[in-house]
Chains A and B, each alone.
Chain A
């Protein structure tokens, strides 16, 4: 009995979630106590930090969910940021130039995003492209289509399209007050989304099929799982979520931009890998991805508060991705050793 309890404790301490919790706590305490020392007048511990960090979360959160599901099944999508920017351009151009009402523009943008996901899935499943190159090629094609959509009446390409839509702004900025803390609707939505996708992954038949596919695709196919259908679903799902992220970005800034979400290009994937969704697929879950995302965004928020140059944040996003991959490599090697391979 005693022994079992110890091993239970050990298991918790060894788990990735625990490491991330510790990391998060260290980051929060570190920034909290060091930021006034590093830069005079910089305060990390304030209600505003929590609020803006949560708001910053909502865009990459949808990218992380989409990327996480795909990666569990052993695939990936590099076109996420471009799909988001594309959806934003469609909404902005739709409202401002084509005279659509905002909800029609939003539905159109989501439908087109789903179409991109479908093409990604066709390239990967029918033409047998490797996912990374298929989605990279798609992102350059989407860029071309964005240029087409962002060309105004005088044949000039606009890199940003400003628009006003009281309806969309109202929906995006809607919020509820819970116990004195003002929770934006988008944050509520992302929490619900994480819980729903987390439950689907861990508790349903479909979710377990994804793990099997990611762990051993051949075995999964032999056991009767329809790999193709699953892949189609995941790619379309990922693109719709990316489109949603782009629409939230566009609704908040009231402009569609060709370069929207470019800073968050790898955030979703990095969060998923940090959270234990292994790069080859077959492991991890939504809880880890959420924690990974929190770590990334707390880190960048803290750096912004102590006034680190924004360009260096770009360096960091790449370095973090590599660090996450390195950790993934070492944990996989340890696992292999434990099994005895």
Chain B
């Protein structure tokens, strides 16, 4: 009996639904354009997923704790500029990478200071920081890209396991597993969920919401830099707008909400977010392969996904509140939980 209910629960769960939709997209692609299933396309898709997954870990954990960071792609792009420039100045790439990561940590600390010390709402603070980083990077490079002149570093993203799977994808997937375990099975992970649900209650229960939130801001920024370095290795360059056009933090945000992470924090799992990223990237790539000239459709679908995800999130939330017997206060004019 419990076994049956477990199967039922799995089938009804959001991640399962997302994977079913992904499969449907793949089937549709196979019907419309069978030649799309080539080794090159498979590799490209996994390459795109690899840095998305790294970003996802940082963004999801932050979102579950009730925070948000819209400056990640600008900050990560600035970090790739730092990295590429140091390599150009004959620094070994390992050392340059460490400095880029340290840069990310400092950027995360600034965000944490603005949000937790100056009590700014995280979305506006990080949006402000995003234009600061983008501006600095563009000023330093005059808007140009800097090529990474380390052949070893550029080859990292070209290492494939069994012809198809890039090493960087395995790194991304491993990070998802690790963070998922931390979230579910450690005291620290569960404290993130509590803090995201109710900060005041968490404080009364003896947790340190501000410390945890600050750690997660730093964590998101450092992971953002790692994702940025993977992207830099793929592109063989660093640049002030390297990641801002693909905006992996927005993809990660949409994926998290699609996968059942509540927008207001406090609930969700990394597995759901993982399924969300798979769906988004498969759908985007399938559209690109099927209708390459209709750029606007690709952009439109991408934008609509966020609206759909938020709508479903809102309905889920209201249903849950109703079940608990709380009358919905509604988002409306006020902005609850938008720390």
Contacts and interface: CB of A to CB of B under 8 A. Distances in A.
Contacts of B307: 123, 137, 141
Interface string B322-336: 000000101111111
A206 interface: no
A130 B263 contact: yes
Interface string A293-329: 0000000000000000101111111110110011001
A129 to B, nearest CB: 5
A148 interface: yes
Contact of A140 (B114, B119, B299, B318): B299
A159 to B, nearest CB: 12
A124 B331 contact: yes
B150 interface: no
A95 B128 CA distance: 36
Nearest to B302: A140
Q: Find the residue from B121, B124, B138, B293 having the highest chain A CB count within 10 A.
A: B124
Interface string B295-330: 111111011101100110010001000000000101
Given A129-B310, A311-B143, A329-B119, A143 B333 contact: no
Interface in B61-110: none
A322 B114 contact: yes
Given A137-B303, A322-B114, A129 B132 contact: no
Contact of A315 (B132, B332, B334): B132
B212 interface: no
A143 B121 CA distance: 26
Label chain B's interface by main secondary structure.
helix
Interface residues of A, number: 52
B314 A127 contact: yes
A315 B333 contact: no
Given A147-B299, A266-B128, A325-B125, A311 B135 contact: yes
Given A144-B299, A217-B332, A318 B132 contact: yes
A226 to B, nearest CB: 12
Contacts of A316: 135
A122 to B, nearest CB: 11
Contacts of B296: 144-145, 147-148, 151, 157
A329 B295 CA distance: 43
Given A147-B295, A157-B295, A321-B131, 8 more contacts: A124-B331, A128-B331, A129-B310, A131-B335, A141-B300, A157-B296, A213-B333, A322-B132
19 contacts: A124-B331, A132-B124, A132-B338, A133-B306, A138-B303, A140-B302, A147-B296, A148-B296, A217-B332, A217-B334, A312-B135, A315-B131, A317-B135, A318-B132, A321-B131, A322-B114, A322-B129, A329-B118, A329-B119
B142 interface: yes
Contact of B314 (A129, A132, A214, A319): A129
